[in-house]
Structure 1
Amino acid sequence: MKKSLLLLLLAGAMFSCKKEEAKKDYKPSFTAVEADTLVSEEISIRAITIDGDKAWYAGSMGKYGWVSLSGGKNFSGVIAKDTIFPEFRAIAQTKNDIFILNAGTPAMLYKISKDGKNSKEVYSETGEKVFYDSMQFYNDKEGIAMGDPTEDCLSVIITSDGGNAWKKMPCTGLPKVAEGEAAFAASNTNLIVKGNSTWIVSGGKKSRVFYSADKGKSWKVYDTPIVQGGAADGIYSADLYDENIGFAVGGNYEKAESNKSNKILTTDGGKTWDKAADGQAFGYASCVQFVPGSNGNELMTAGPSGIWYSFDRGTTWKKILDENIYHTIRFADNKTVILAGQKKVVRLKLK
């Protein structure tokens, strides 16, 4: 495996904005990064999940599989239906199974045994506007996936039997979307679940947060100050450290260098948001994740300007990896990061 060492000069100049948050005694938890390549092949990956010592992935051309994080065997598979090789953009798991869901029509949701031996289609949907973006499980029985509107609400499908059967929620039980409001299948991170709580972030002409405290039975909707108004504007990714502290990133992938109004922070569970590092650091980003065990202070993002890190809740940022090919991030632990994107899955060890 190819390795490289990148020193982080965190004591040097950092991108910053003037906020009270910056006055707190924040400290970075690492000073160097070691990177090694786990997968290198013709695939675009936007969906990964960590399962013990395995990092599962799903991507383009119907490809999916896992890479071992402990030196064990890897596995790869391909799903095709008739002449269709799905573009998988969402992945989730229960104790025994992995679930992958494609973007576009027909929507195809597959259940895969964790030994990789069995796969089964458990949900499908056709229609001109069908486009699913993200999927998560609350527990080993209950799961949820979301997608773009096919009527006047976001598409939401749920399962209560461990993913064997899924049903679409009617719009009568969901908030109405604004004209031109949808979502982005950028990194499987515009749907977040913690306990019974669910957050969905939208984008486009309107970019908001849809919140449910009861696994999708009832919803509230909150406005955000992120850039919005154009079809490619809005939130592309969000993460909640706990029920209160959250961060969202996005912008406009067609204006990838623009760093105005593309990073926002909440400390009240998504009800209100403040801009962070406005006009500073990176532009468009496709994924954001909190560093585990960081009290909600440390963040990492991926996008076309590279991998960026903040240790003060998004007030200041430092680029830690210059490669611009990564779409999504997951932490295996607080010192191990898995990156995936164009033709690569890479592990970062934080030292």
Structure 2
Amino acid sequence: MRAKGKSKSMGRAVLAGLCGAALAGAVLAAPARAGTGGSAHAPVRGLSWQLKESGTDARFRGLAAVSPDTAWAAGTGGTVLRTSDGGGTWRDVSPPDAGNLEFRDVEAFDGRRAVVLAIGEGEASRVLRTDDGGATWTESFRNTDTRAFYDCVTFFDHRHGLAMSDPVDGKYRILSTADGGRSWKVLPDAGMPAAQQGESAFAASGQCLVASGPRDVWLATGGAARARVLHSADRGLTWRATDAPIPAGDPARGVFGLAFRDRTHGIAVGGDYRAGQASPKAAAVTGDGGRTWRPAGQPTGAYRSGVAWFPGSRATAIAVGPTGTDVTTDGGRTWRTVDTGSYDTVDCAGVRGCWAAGEKGRIARLERK
């Protein structure tokens, strides 16, 4: 969206040491500390957000968790950071001459290979790839259509992926790659339903386009009369749109982030991103791959832009936004605010491999207290 989208990053680590089923019921209930600090109380017993020194004041809406040790973050001013020691140190691997680019999404296959998406009108929307940990970058796509504005990118595997643009000629535009992001082509739009008046996607967390499995992908929308989620089961060739019970009817409202733990079970979060605006019913769940969505019985405490399933659990997920972190232990039906720190996006890769990032260079990892 012109005003303001993360998919599952590659290289998911195995759950180490703790059983996801045991974690699912272990949310603490103590009240959160006031302020903008990192850890109020833990999303999972014995675990809490621990802020890391990023060395920058960039705002990070792109985040890719590779493992508890390795993660990538992409943000304002063409900034890309990478850590390989659990956030102890961050290496600035920003592409040269990228200071005027706005990175909003990053997809990482491992500690050396990653793809970043820059947003904006016309040529501001670009895709770059690195194969050497950010030492060098290759621009693999530059948008030349002034009507297009790309928001998010996602990958099904190390080779196949998609990127999406806000509607062009009344339909969302989809890019496809079959070589890991080294080259891209625009897919035909015959199988894409018409966009609503004023509808677009939010490039708020890198989660407006997410994939699960080898062929399924979902696209989150807002800004129109109804918030919707579009689903494709054939890597973006044909799509079906479903209304989502999340606040809509305003350019600032809609679905901002999606997370699927498999091809059927998903969570949507969003609301109204304007500070001070109420966001009731800002979370929803699906158990049928997005054919239908149900509002959370007890939704997130406020607008949330990012969401991720806790590794190894079928019921626990984490949602983040500028006013805090919420946790669900029942698959998204009820949520509890557990932290007041400001984050825009979250991604997980193995226990103690959950990361969050946001404004003023804030990056945190979920760690044992």
The answer (yes or no) to whether the contact 1:257–1:282 under 8 Å persists in 2 is: no
Q: Which has the higher contact order (CA 8 A, sep 6+)?
A: 2
Unaligned regions of 5+ residues in structure 2, if any?
1-25, 33-42
The equivalences for 1:138-149 within 5 A come to: 138-149=156-167
The equivalences for 1:228-307 within 5 A come to: 228-254=248-274, 256-277=276-297, 281-295=300-314, 297-307=315-325
Matching of residue 322 in structure 1 with residue 340 in structure 2 = yes
State which of 70, 77, 83 in structure 2 corresponds to 1:61.
77
Which residue number corresponds to residue 38 of structure 2? Answer: none
**SS of 1:149's equivalent?**
strand
The equivalences for 1:172-211 within 5 A come to: 172-195=190-213, 196-205=215-224, 206-211=226-231
The answer (yes or no) to whether the contact 1:40–1:345 under 8 Å persists in 2 is: no
Which residue number corresponds to residue 49 of structure 1? Answer: 64
The amino acid that maps onto 1:334 is V
- 1:350 Cα shift? 4.9
The amino acid that maps onto 1:328 is T
Deviations 1:153-188 (A, max 9, x none): 112101112222101123224222111111000111
Q: Could you say if the C-alpha distance between residues 336 and 142 of structure 1 is closer, same or farther in structure 2, counting changes exceeding 3 Å?
A: closer
State which of 151, 168, 178 in structure 1 corresponds to 2:169.
151
- Give the whole-Å Cα distance in 2 for the aligned partners of 1:67 and 1:46: 16
Say which is worse superposed, 232-241 or 106-115, in terms of deviation. Answer: 106-115
- Give the whole-Å Cα distance in 2 for the aligned partners of 1:70 and 1:197: 31
Q: Could you say if the C-alpha distance between residues 30 and 146 of structure 1 is closer, same or farther in structure 2, counting changes exceeding 3 Å?
A: same
RMSD: 2.4
- Give the whole-Å Cα distance in 2 for the aligned partners of 1:198 and 1:161: 18
- 1:13 Cα shift? 8.7
Q: How many residues align?
A: 327
- Give the whole-Å Cα distance in 2 for the aligned partners of 1:170 and 1:157: 9
- 1:73 Cα shift? 5.9
TM-score by length of 1: 0.85
Which residue number corresponds to residue 120 of structure 1? Answer: 138
- Give the whole-Å Cα distance in 1 for the aligned partners of 2:135 and 2:47: 39
- 1:272 Cα shift? 0.7
Give the structure with higher Rg (CA). Answer: 1
- 1:239 Cα shift? 0.5
Q: Could you say if the C-alpha distance between residues 336 and 164 of structure 1 is closer, same or farther in structure 2, counting changes exceeding 3 Å?
A: closer
Q: Percent identity?
A: 30
Q: Could you say if the C-alpha distance between residues 176 and 71 of structure 1 is closer, same or farther in structure 2, counting changes exceeding 3 Å?
A: closer
Which residue number corresponds to residue 128 of structure 2? Answer: 110
Which residue number corresponds to residue 20 of structure 1? Answer: none
Unaligned regions of 5+ residues in structure 1, if any?
1-7, 15-27
The answer (yes or no) to whether the contact 2:52–2:88 under 8 Å persists in 1 is: no
**SS of 1:61's equivalent?**
helix
The amino acid that maps onto 2:185 is K
The amino acid that maps onto 2:59 is S
- 1:311 Cα shift? 1.2
- 1:87 Cα shift? 0.4
Deviations 1:167-216 (A, max 9, x none): 11232242221111110001111111112111111111132111111111
- Give the whole-Å Cα distance in 2 for the aligned partners of 1:140 and 1:32: 31
Which residue number corresponds to residue 152 of structure 2? Answer: 134
Richer in strand (by share): 1
Deviations 1:51-102 (A, max 9, x none): 3431111111011120123478642133355x86200001113466211111
Matching of residue 39 in structure 1 with residue 54 in structure 2 = yes
The amino acid that maps onto 2:321 is G
The answer (yes or no) to whether the contact 1:94–1:162 under 8 Å persists in 2 is: no
- Give the whole-Å Cα distance in 2 for the aligned partners of 1:350 and 1:309: 17
Q: Could you say if the C-alpha distance between residues 38 and 68 of structure 1 is closer, same or farther in structure 2, counting changes exceeding 3 Å?
A: farther
**SS of 2:205's equivalent?**
coil
TM-score by length of 2: 0.81
Matching of residue 226 in structure 1 with residue 246 in structure 2 = yes
Which residue number corresponds to residue 18 of structure 1? Answer: none
Which residue number corresponds to residue 339 of structure 1? Answer: 356
Q: Could you say if the C-alpha distance between residues 157 and 9 of structure 1 is closer, same or farther in structure 2, counting changes exceeding 3 Å?
A: closer
Q: Which runs of 4+ in 1 moved over 6 A?
A: none
Which residue number corresponds to residue 22 of structure 2? Answer: none
**SS of 2:259's equivalent?**
strand
